[in-house]
């Protein structure tokens, strides 16, 4: 795929929660001008899209973004030039889920968790969203605490109960994570488990790969290639990590890893218009401003996409086939080391976008305007 086509096809979904305050278990610092409501989060996401042309959708988290009228929320987003995207379910903040949700031993609690996902599916009918994303905090802290195998069986049963209600044009996307909040055993720890569970359901069930959800040193691009090859990569939750699930700006910790992932994205056809692979961000901006944080994120994805599209595939194939180990590596690295910033500035100018979206936002005075307007409690986790 040419650089131009890759850039044209790139569409990133922003997480509503990136625009609210977030923090660590030590402290949630407030940032002036932070969105107070879901409408303000959507308005902030629309600013990111207006300045970059890269972010036409906003993912919701339920109940954080619960409103009475979702159709109206969708129209509000549409008026601002964005649409509502993935609906993220949440079964990790209710006391009932202390020992699990879809895997719980108590049928009543399992049913409550199933019902939450069915509510999310109904919301999707009103927002026009395609994807229901399921991430579970389920797991155990101590060996022997739970029956690992029985928990898998209950998970399969619960997912099947939800899947029955995933209608035409809708999908269930199952996200895996190797630890946290459960520290000994997570019920969906890896792509293999997610793949096994969704494969048992059918073609409307696919896997979400959150880049922060792997053990250090994991070759994530291999997983990308494999899931694309199997037709089961539904979406990404992009972010970057130094140590754990850091939720830092994608491409900040390891731009080369992002390049390698995006190379496999292109190689696997995930940037074709009908690929069905959603490129979402899942990040939290704890100390940096939220809107510039999201701007930086989408620009990082764009920059590494452009570099990945620059790989000379003919030269690469020739080197690979002739066994030219270092030659093949050099072709790959040449693209990675190419400075595409002038090319991207020109690409933006051609489309009437600011050549430097970060600088344009800083100049616009919007930061000061929002800080003055938005008094009172900001949105935060659980709001
Ligand atoms: C869990 O760590 C996760 O990655 C899931 O996607 C959640 O929905 C999200 O983070 C909440 O921030
Ligand atoms: Mn995630």
Q: For 160-178, what is the mean pLDDT?
A: 98
The answer as to whether 342 is a domain residue is: no
The answer as to whether 348 is a domain residue is: no
Using the predicted structure, report yes or no on whether residue 16 has a pLDDT greater than 60: yes
The answer as to whether 383 is a domain residue is: no
Q: Please, which residues have CB within 8 angstroms of residue 382's CB and are 6 or more apart in sequence?
A: 64, 93
The 10 Å Cβ neighbour count of residue 127 is 22
- Tell me what pLDDT residue 122 has: 98
SS3 278: strand
pLDDT in tens, 364-376: 999 999 999 999 9
> 177 pLDDT band (50/70/90 cuts)?
very high
Q: Which ligand is nearest to the CA of 181?
A: 1
CA distance 337 to 316: 16
The answer as to whether 173 is a domain residue is: yes
- Tell me what pLDDT residue 382 has: 62
Using the mean position of ligand 2's atoms as its centre, give its distance from the Cα of residue 177 in Å: 8
Kindly report the pTM of this predicted structure.
0.97
Residue whose Cα lies nearest atom 11 of ligand 1: it is: 282
Q: Which ligand is nearest to the CA of 133?
A: 1
Residue whose Cα lies nearest atom 2 of ligand 1: it is: 245
pLDDT in tens, 243-296: 999 999 999 999 999 999 999 999 999 999 999 999 999 999 999 999 999 999
Residue whose Cα lies nearest atom 12 of ligand 1: it is: 282
The answer as to whether 329 is a domain residue is: no
Mutate to test the pocket of ligand 1, among 237, 250, 283 (most ligand atoms within 8 A of CB): 237
- Tell me what pLDDT residue 232 has: 98
The answer as to whether 341 is a domain residue is: no
User: Are 14 and 285 spatial neighbours (Cβ–Cβ below 8 Å)?
Assistant: no
Q: For 38-46, what is the mean pLDDT?
A: 98
Using the predicted structure, report yes or no on whether residue 383 has a pLDDT greater than 80: no
Mean pLDDT of the chain: 97
Percent of the chain whose pLDDT exceeds 70: 99
Q: For 157-168, what is the mean pLDDT?
A: 98
Of 203, 207, 200, nearest in space to 224 by CA: 207
Mutate to test the pocket of ligand 1, among 20, 62, 175 (most ligand atoms within 8 A of CB): 175
> 140 pLDDT band (50/70/90 cuts)?
very high
The answer as to whether 124 is a domain residue is: yes
Using the predicted structure, report yes or no on whether residue 141 has a pLDDT greater than 60: yes
pLDDT in tens, 44-93: 999 999 999 999 999 999 999 999 999 999 999 999 999 999 999 999 99
Atom of ligand 1 nearest to the CA of 381: 12
Using the mean position of ligand 2's atoms as its centre, give its distance from the Cα of residue 159 in Å: 18
Percent of the chain whose pLDDT exceeds 90: 98
Using the mean position of ligand 1's atoms as its centre, give its distance from the Cα of residue 248 in Å: 13
Using the mean position of ligand 1's atoms as its centre, give its distance from the Cα of residue 114 in Å: 18
pLDDT in tens, 332-364: 999 999 999 999 999 999 999 999 999 999 999
Q: Based on the structure, what is the number of domains in the chain?
A: 1
Residue whose Cα lies nearest atom 9 of ligand 1: it is: 282
**What are the pocket residues of ligand 1 if the criterion is a CB atom closer than 6 Å to any ligand atom?**
17, 88, 135, 175, 177, 210, 237, 245, 282
Mutate to test the pocket of ligand 1, among 135, 189, 241 (most ligand atoms within 8 A of CB): 135
The answer as to whether 335 is a domain residue is: no
pLDDT in tens, 24-34: 999 999 999 99
Looking at the chain, list the stretches that DSSP marks H as alpha helix, in order from N- to C-terminal side.
3-9, 38-52, 70-79, 107-127, 148-163, 191-199, 220-229, 255-267, 290-309, 313-321, 325-336, 341-350, 357-364, 366-373
Using the predicted structure, report yes or no on whether residue 102 has a pLDDT greater than 70: yes
- Tell me what pLDDT residue 380 has: 84
CATH code of the domain in which 78 resides: 3.20.20.150
CA distance 81 to 270: 24
CA distance 39 to 138: 31
Residue whose Cα lies nearest atom 3 of ligand 1: it is: 135
Q: Does the N-terminal peptide bond of residue 63 adopt cis geometry, omega within 30 degrees of 0?
A: yes
**Domain interval for residue 12:** 3-311+365-373
């Amino acid at each position: 795929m040419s650089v131009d086509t890759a850039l044209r096809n790139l569409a990133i979904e922003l997480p509503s929660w990136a625009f609210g305050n977030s923090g660590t278990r030590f402290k949630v610092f407030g940032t002036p001008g932070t969105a107070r409501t879901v409408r303000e989060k959507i308005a902030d996401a629309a600013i990111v899209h207006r300045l970059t042309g890269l972010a036409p959708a906003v993912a919701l988290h339920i109940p954080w973004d619960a409103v009475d009228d979702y159709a109206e929320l969708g129209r509000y987003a549409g008026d601002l030039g964005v649409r509502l995207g993935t609906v993220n379910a949440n079964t990790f903040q209710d006391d009932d889920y202390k020992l699990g949700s879809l895997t719980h031993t108590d049928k009543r609690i399992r049913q409550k968790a199933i019902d939450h996902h069915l509510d999310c599916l109904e919301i999707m009918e009103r927002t026009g969203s395609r994807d229901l994303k399921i991430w579970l905090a389920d797991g155990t802290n101590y060996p022997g605490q739970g029956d690992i195998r029985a928990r898998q069986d209950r998970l399969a049963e619960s997912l099947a109960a939800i899947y029955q209600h995933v209608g035409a044009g809708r999908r269930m996307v199952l996200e895996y994570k190797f630890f946290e909040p459960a520290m000994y055993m997570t019920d969906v720890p890896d792509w293999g488990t997610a793949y096994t569970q969704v494969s048992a359901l059918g073609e409307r069930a696919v896997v979400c790969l959150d880049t922060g959800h792997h053990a250090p040193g994991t070759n994530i691009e291999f997983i990308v290639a494999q899931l694309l090859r199997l037709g089961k990569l539904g979406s990404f939750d992009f972010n970057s990590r130094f140590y754990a699930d850091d939720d830092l700006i994608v491409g900040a910790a390891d731009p080369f890893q992002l390049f390698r992932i995006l190379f496999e994205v292109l190689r696997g056809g995930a940037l074709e218009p009908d690929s069905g692979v959603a490129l979402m961000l899942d990040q939290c901006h704890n100390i940096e401003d939220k809107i510039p944080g999201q701007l930086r994120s989408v620009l990082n994805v764009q920059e590494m996409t452009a570099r990945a599209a620059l790989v000379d595939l003919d030269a690469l194939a020739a080197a690979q086939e002739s066994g030219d180990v270092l030659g093949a590596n050099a072709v790959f690295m040449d693209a990675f080391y190419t400075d595409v910033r002038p090319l991207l500035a020109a690409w933006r100018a051609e489309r009437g976008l600011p050549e430097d979206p970060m600088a344009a936002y800083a100049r616009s005075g919007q930061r000061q305007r929002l800080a003055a307007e938005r008094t009172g409690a900001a949105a935060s986790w659980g709001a």
